[in-house]
Every structure is written in C-alpha cells, then in structure tokens.
Chains A and B, each alone.
Chain A
C-alpha cells in the first residue's frame, strides 16, 4: 500500500504527461504482483466498492475525536477524506500495514458490517498518505489525472512495446493482470488476442502540410469528408458486440442503439454521429450523448446515433487490414449494403483530378452534410490499414479555423517548463450593454499556439501591465485605449450557460499576436453570436 500511496501522491502533484508516465512506468516496474495489477485496476477505474460510504468514515472519526476539533480541521482542509487521513490518531504498532491486494481482496468478499471494522484497523496501521489512498480507493475518484490511455502508455514504455499492442490484448485481460506483466517483462509470450469483439489499434493521419502537395500525386489518393463526430470502431464478432473510442475505451454502454444495429459479422471503422434520416447533425448535438453513465429512452429518441463508415478491418472472419485501401473500400461498400441498417451508412468518396480541384471542394463544400464536415481526409489507394500514425498513407486536411480578434484580460502561470511564465491566457471581446457602453467579456482561454519566443514576449507584457493579482492569476490592463489583441483560432462555437458570455469555443489557440492592432478594434460578442446561429 505504501508504494501505491506514494505513487498517488506524486501523480496528484505532477501535471505533465511525461512526468506521470515516468512515475507510472517506474511503479509498474518496481512493484510486485499482484499489487501492481490492482493498482492498475484502481487507476483505470475498473475497481469499485460500494460497501464504504463517506458517512461510514465520518462515524469512525467522530468516535475517535472531539467533534469541535474535527470541525475546525475539516473547515481548514476542505476535503473530508483528506481531513480524516490527516487527523486519524496514530496507533503505533497497532497492526501490520495492509497491502493493496489484501484490501481489494478483503473488500470484495466482506459484508457491509465487516467493512467498518476492517477499515478502522487499516486506518490505524497506515500513515497519512496511506490513509488518503485507502479512503480515496474506497470512496472512488483519486483525481490524480491518470486516464486508462495514459496507464496503457506507461505499460508500453515499461515493456518496450507499442501502445497498440497493449490495446490489442487489453480487453482480454482481467485484474490483477499478471499475464500482461509477465509478457511485458518478457517472462512469457504475448497473451492471446483471440478475444471476439476485441479492440484493434486504429490507423491515424497526419495533418497535411503545404510542401506535401508537391511530394505526393493526386491520383494516388482517395478523398472523403472528415466528419465531425467521434472516431469509433464497431465490432461484432461471434456474438460479441462492442463499440470502442479510438483510444480503445469501451463505450458500448452509452450507445445501446448503436450496439443493437451491429447486425453483422465483422469490424468497421467510422464516425459516430447524430443521424436523422441520412443527414448528420453537429458535434454539439452529439455531445448530449457523450460521457453518460445511463441513457434514457427520451435521449435515445432525441439524439439518434449512427455510424458513418470509413473502413473495414474484419469482413466476416477475414482480417482485411493487409489489403490495400482500394480493395477494402470495395469490401466496405458491399458490407454496408448488406448490413442494410438505417444506423450505418457509407462515407462517400469525393472524386477529384488535381489538388487544386480538391482545394476548391474543401473551400466550398456543397450543401448538406459536407457543410459541417471538419475538412477532408486523403487516403492512398494502396495503403494497408496499419496501427498508429504513419506518415504518407493518410492525411487530414482540415477546414481553416474560425478566427476572432480578442483582447488579453487575464493570465495564469503555467506548470512544469512554464512554471516561471504566464502562459495561460483568458481573452475577451467587446460587449455592448443597455446604455451602449462597451466592456470586455471573457470568451475563452488558450495556452498554446505561440512559439517560445512569443511566450517570452507575452509573459513580459503580462508582468509589465498587471493591474491586479488573484493568487496565480493576474489581471492585465485592457480597455478601449490600451490592450493586447490576440488573434484566436478555434474550431467551433457552442452556447454555454456556464460562461458569462454565453458561448464556449472548441479548441481555441493563439493564432497570431496582433501587437499592431488597437484594442478598441477587436471583435464584438455579436460577431461570435452570428457564427453561432450559422452553425446551429
């Protein structure tokens, strides 16, 4: 438990992805079985205990400590589990510290009544960090910023394999993952991937660059729209139906309507979209269906989901990933036709004869669905379906982003490499009030898009023009006569009740710093609002 508690403690305070990867990799390499396997399960959200409730924990501490002292402590710390972890009276030599595996094993079999006694015994034996880890394990939610994806990356680093290989075996593995670790430590062969309905690593694309058009010939590529939903893999294999995100998360539970529609034998790659009578809806509508633990019938009816198919990986029992795209495409067309489902359609190819012609298509998408596509995808006719992001066979060619000129209002210090810099910027646009007075209203936050050199200049600007400080945040001078204009690029806009301005941007970043532009000439909120109407 101690090593796991130390790991959690470090993860909680390490913001950078690479730092977290190092901590996880080292832990997995050092901790013994089955301890590390349970840790992996706990971090990836596989474990859940229902026997221990916060009220339990409160009762336990109240029996040990004066209520007023506890109240003063809780008031100061804020978080209940953390407070209890800190104030729990030490009982030296009380017990042996429990191992994580012991805790998991016991909790799985213990009755509700037993849990209270066990929990108290463990709390007596652990130190403050251990108690925190235990209480968070029991009540759910470490909030240490580790996704299943990140944990898999750390496993890949530990074993010196591609993350795609981890994803391939992942869904056949169960906690505490001893076979998986044995393979990563080269003590045994790769676990079998013959699990029907398993995830297959997806193929991704690089963004095309201007120079690429000279390097590659138009006739070698097929083009299709890049639909604005979420990329998925739909598997229906020997009775197992699964829907995966491109990062291998099993999202079947959120989409019973889609699962029901997988009346085929095979695996396809496509875009998950809200679809109504063959037309697709915007990403904003799809969001109503994402990250939901339960789905009710009203939601299913209001936001019907379908898959627009891009590719095929398994046709019947035949793995077709090694076939060239042209051949797979013919397979896919037949496959979709045969499935004959209103929830599955084909992403149509867009014929073109030159890059210029394709550029024109991208700039002027025809009426209908292409209007809300994210851009175009280019796929070499002869490309096989390979895991990862190889350079050359596939490209994405996104539409130009929306741009808005906004004024820098607040800046916050960054983390890690940027800890000495003000690198997170909140920007605003002009809003007119009832009297016709104009004031800035914040519309978004961006923390990338600029070069290191520009970061230095922005940081200097923030320091030189700070008007107020709130902890790590500084308010920057910004009014009609003075302010720094930032050209912000973003992918889309949606209404938001959480933001004062009523709009929220997707993927905002600093496109250019407009040192030259007077603050008064920055855009108004009405400009953004008009975009909103166009989008919806």
Chain B
C-alpha cells in the first residue's frame, strides 16, 4: 500500500507533491504551483507554471497584473490534468469565485486538499462538492465549537433593519475585497434593497471582475466622490475593506455606524476590539458544524489539518475515532489578515 505522504507532504513552501513536482498554494515562489483560490495568502505572484480555475487566474491577473506567473494553465471544474502519473482535478470549494479543492489521484490513492471552503449557499460561487477520498486535507480557521454561524440572510436583515432605524447615519460595512464584498452585496440585493450601494475604491477591481463573470451586483457607486457633502451619505450603505473602517477615510460620512461582515464577529470581544457597532456574522469559511459534518460525511482514511484552530478539531476527531493529524502549515492568515 502506498503511503499518502509519498504523494503529498508538508514543506516550508507549502504542500508538495514529489511525484508530480508541484506545490499547492505555496507561500514562496516555486517552479510549479496549483492554486486553490485567489486570496493573497494562497495565490502569491512569481511562480513559474500555475494551474488554477479560469476565475482564479483572472483574479491573480487583476491583482498582480500580466506577468503574475511564468505560464498559466486554466482549467474548468472537473477537468482532469495529468503529470508524471499524478492526476489533478479542481472541484468547487464554495469559498469564493473560482475557489476549488484540489483532488489528487495517484497509485490508487485519492487526496483532497480542500483549500478554504464552506458548505453554505453562496450566490457568487458554486456549492462545495464532496469527493470521496483517502486523505482529506482541511482548513480549521473556525475550528472551535463556538463558531456556529447563523444564516447569512438573518444577518443582512439586521443590517437593513438598522438602516431603516438610523436613517441619519451612514452604515459602513467592512468586508474583504475578494468574495465577502460581492457575497454581501448579493445578499443585500436578495434582501430587497435596490438602492445604489457605495463602495471604497479598493473594492472596485474585484467587483468589476465578478460582474464580468456574470454576477449581478446591482447599482454601485464610488464612495470617494470629490467634494461630497456628509449628508449625501446619510442613510446609505457603504462597503469598504475592514482596514478602512477606523481610518481617516470614514470622516467623509455622516455619523458612520461601523458594521463588519466576518465569522470572527461571532465572539463579542472580537467585535468590541474592532469598535464594531453592528457585527454581521457572515463567513466564507466552514464553521464548526460544517467542518465536522464534512469529515463525518467523507469519512476519509485520514484527516490532515492545514491551518487555523486545529486543537479542537483534532480533539473532535479523536472522540469520533477519526484518524487525524495537524500539519501546522505556516504562512496562511486567518480571515483577519486576508487582503
């Protein structure tokens, strides 16, 4: 029987596949890389050959401009490629537009590297697709039982109710540029809000890219209008990267009410630390229930945990007789550091 470690193993650059001679989401420039999704801690510039979905490559191109990699190999979900007897297939991970799990098959073994994933419906990307495997390599960003996320639509309801309650204030929603922003916008639209949404300049390129891939975000306007009066933004919803929430940038708005769409908002102390007045518990990562349900559903021979809060997830695996180990990969940020 082949050992899975001979097909995939941790290395300082990231997960490495010796027979195929490629890395998955390497944190340093390498000759050959498979990229699961476009977040900057997973998709870095400067690699030689890159294999990723069409969408992920478009995101990398938008972020790092043309020469982001020596060569790019665009694949569709489900389309298999082969190298030195190693077959790689990308299947939907449900995390953000273009996000994929890397399914690696070699010598009769199947290893699934989930990348970052979630199991909930997301109007901006296809649903996570479970794949039977011998080894499931999972993230554990929210790997603690306290992270049980409510329905995202419930959180958006809270936001829209607050906008109605405080028409004199500007609702400033912090959301990461890639994925969260567009999902929040879609959810706001699904919540019945048709008025223009105002966006920070740093969000524009990803919004345009999503729209190019057919995701309708409704009327958007820049929140950076020259000479705008404070009153212009009273009652408006403005979306901005989280770092801008406490920046001088916010001074242009009428009595801003800071909201933040993130899984971390589930814990009060985290929301308070960031001076958030309206925490919106919306995450693009799997919560505790999704992480454990997925492992139960797949029942793989082994679970490998890449990054996040692995202690609790390891404990859960032990309690459920699920062989598991932590890879403790470094270089991957939790949601905080993304972007």
Question: Measured between C-beta atoms, what is the minimum distance from B315 to chain A in Å?
Answer: 5
Structural contact, B269 and A78, CB atoms closer than 8 A: yes
Chain B residues contacting A78 (CB-CB under 8 Å) are 269
User: Secondary structure at chain A's binding surface: helix, strand, loop or mixed?
Assistant: helix
Structural contact, A13 and B271, CB atoms closer than 8 A: yes
Structural contact, B268 and A12, CB atoms closer than 8 A: yes
Chain A residues contacting B268 (CB-CB under 8 Å) are 12, 79, 82
Chain A residues contacting B271 (CB-CB under 8 Å) are 13
Chain A residues contacting B266 (CB-CB under 8 Å) are 86, 128
A415 within 8 A of B: yes
Q: Of A13, A72, A73, A421, which one neighbours B278 at CB under 8 angstroms?
A: A13
Q: Of A15, A82, A419, which one neighbours B246 at CB under 8 angstroms?
A: A419
Using a Cβ–Cβ cut-off of 8 Å, how many residues does chain B contribute to the interface with A? 39
Question: Measured between C-beta atoms, what is the minimum distance from B281 to chain A in Å?
Answer: 9
Structural contact, B166 and A22, CB atoms closer than 8 A: yes
Q: Of B148, B247, B251, B277, which one neighbours A86 at CB under 8 angstroms?
A: B148
Structural contact, B277 and A68, CB atoms closer than 8 A: no
Structural contact, B248 and A417, CB atoms closer than 8 A: no
Chain A residues contacting B311 (CB-CB under 8 Å) are 72
A76 within 8 A of B: yes
CA distance A77 to B270 in the complex (A): 9
Using a Cβ–Cβ cut-off of 8 Å, how many residues does chain A contribute to the interface with B? 37
CA distance A76 to B255 in the complex (A): 33
Chain B residues contacting A417 (CB-CB under 8 Å) are 255-256
CA distance A76 to B166 in the complex (A): 33
A-B Cβ contacts below 8 A, count: 94
Question: Measured between C-beta atoms, what is the minimum distance from B14 to chain A in Å?
Answer: 27
Structural contact, A73 and B150, CB atoms closer than 8 A: no
Question: Measured between C-beta atoms, what is the minimum distance from A190 to chain B in Å?
Answer: 28
B321 within 8 A of A: no
CA distance A7 to B319 in the complex (A): 38
Chain B residues contacting A83 (CB-CB under 8 Å) are 146
A239 within 8 A of B: no
B257-281 interface with A by 8 A CB criterion: 257-258, 266-269, 271-273, 275-279
Structural contact, B148 and A77, CB atoms closer than 8 A: no
Q: Per-residue CB proximity of A78-106 to B under 8 Å, as 1/0? A: 11001100110010000000000000000
Structural contact, A13 and B315, CB atoms closer than 8 A: no
Q: Of A14, A73, A415, A472, which one neighbours B146 at CB under 8 angstroms?
A: A73
Known: A66-B315, A68-B315. A128 touches B150 (CB 8 A): yes
CA distance A472 to B273 in the complex (A): 8
CA distance A528 to B163 in the complex (A): 48
B249 within 8 A of A: yes
CA distance A73 to B311 in the complex (A): 11
Question: Measured between C-beta atoms, what is the minimum distance from B153 to chain A in Å?
Answer: 14
Known: A22-B166, A413-B246. A420 touches B275 (CB 8 A): no
9 pairs, CB–CB < 8 Å, chain A vs chain B: A72-B145, A72-B312, A76-B267, A76-B309, A79-B269, A87-B146, A127-B150, A128-B148, A421-B251
**Given contact pairs A13-B279, A73-B144, a sample of 9 additional A-B residue pairs in the complex whose CB atoms are under 8 Å apart:** A12-B268, A13-B278, A19-B277, A66-B315, A72-B312, A79-B269, A86-B267, A87-B145, A90-B148
A-B CB proximity, top 7 nearest: A86-B146, A420-B250, A87-B145, A72-B312, A73-B146, A420-B251, A13-B277
